[in-house]
Amino acid sequence: MEIFLHLWWRFRRSVRFAIRGLRHVFRRERNFQIELFVGIVVLFTVFLLPFTFFERAFLVFVAGFVLTLEIVNTALERLVDLIRPSIHPYAEVVKDLMASAVLLSSLVAVFVAVLVVIGRFF
């Protein structure tokens, strides 16, 4: 029983840290706010329109992936700023690469959404 309580306490602590990170990114990152708004629109849309379970699951997954990648982007940007506060060519490249990963995932998400909608209605 003691082990269970210890694991439960550690789990709750981890969740608290994760929620604190979500609050941080939501309050301070404009791109995350925009992507979250789009994700919420997608979430409502997939449950209002006649999509199959797998179409819904895939669209929700892709939207969640974009949000997750934006959080990773934010974390790496902060880490690079911490390690290299001055502008360094490699630091700039790391930030640009992460931004391009988020952009690419967003474009793929839009492409997937268009394919699913076209496949459903045409």
Residue 88 Cα distances to 83, 95, 106, angstroms: 10, 11, 27
pLDDT at 7 exceeding the cut of 80: yes
47 alpha carbon, distance to own chain's centre: 20
pLDDT at 85 exceeding the cut of 80: no
Q: Is 92 a catalytic residue?
A: no
**Which residues, at least 6 apart from 29, have a Cβ–Cβ distance to it below 8 Å?**
70, 74
pLDDT tens-place string over residues 102-122: 999 999 999 999 999 888 877
Contact 33, 26 (CB under 8 A): yes
Using a cut of 0.95, tell me whether the model's pTM lies above it: no
Higher pLDDT, 86 or 48: 48
CATH number of 30-121: 1.10.287.3610
Catalytic choice (29, 35, 55, 70): 70
CA dihedral (72, 78, 83, 89) positive or negative: positive
pLDDT at 17 exceeding the cut of 80: yes
Percent of the chain with pLDDT strictly greater than 90: 74
